[in-house]
Structure 1
Amino acid sequence: MSVQSNFYAAQAESCARAARESNLPMQREKYERAGAAWLTLANRENEIAAARDRRLAEAAIKAELPAT
């Protein structure tokens, strides 16, 4: 997990905690929506990092192959 992804996940957890502690339905919904957005960002960052790692691995494999 990247630093950004960890930050996003921490923010999502913070929103979830605030939602659980909220007594007001609209405020709870606001925190739940914000938490979902943070989780989306964390997941997207993880997908980007995985794609980047795959591209680097593929480039390394291609660099090792002899040119024909």
Structure 2
Amino acid sequence: MASNTLTYRDHAAKARADADEATLDNVRERCLRAEAAWLDMAERQERVDAARAVREAPKTPQLVTEAG
């Protein structure tokens, strides 16, 4: 789902922006952990989407040749 991936990446960008604006170390670290989690979810979704596309791709019939 491309929309899920985009949503996850949008959340990651927001978390990064929040981290950049944070004045407290613990808040900055929390935001950076959130960014990493959102990016991980986006990458996982991309792998799932790619695997699904391969699995659901139309199969082409294999040609059978006779030796002789």
Normalising by structure 2, report the TM-score.
0.85
Partner residue in 2 for 1:19: 19
User: Identity across aligned pairs (percent)?
Assistant: 33
Can you give the 5+ residue segments of structure 2 that lack an aligned partner in the other structure? none
- Structure 1 unaligned segments of length 5 or more: list them: none
**1:26-41 superposed matches below 5 A:** 26-41=26-41
Q: Which has the higher helix share?
A: 1
Aligned length: 64
Provide the C-alpha distance between the structure 2 equivalents of 1:6 and 1:22, rounded to a whole number of angstroms.
Answer: 24
Matches within 5 A, 1:47-66: 47-57=47-57, 60-61=58-59, 64-65=60-61
- Report the structure number with the largest CA radius of gyration: 2
TM-score using structure 1 length: 0.85
Backbone CA RMSD of aligned residues:
1.8
Q: Which runs of 4+ in 1 moved over 6 A?
A: none
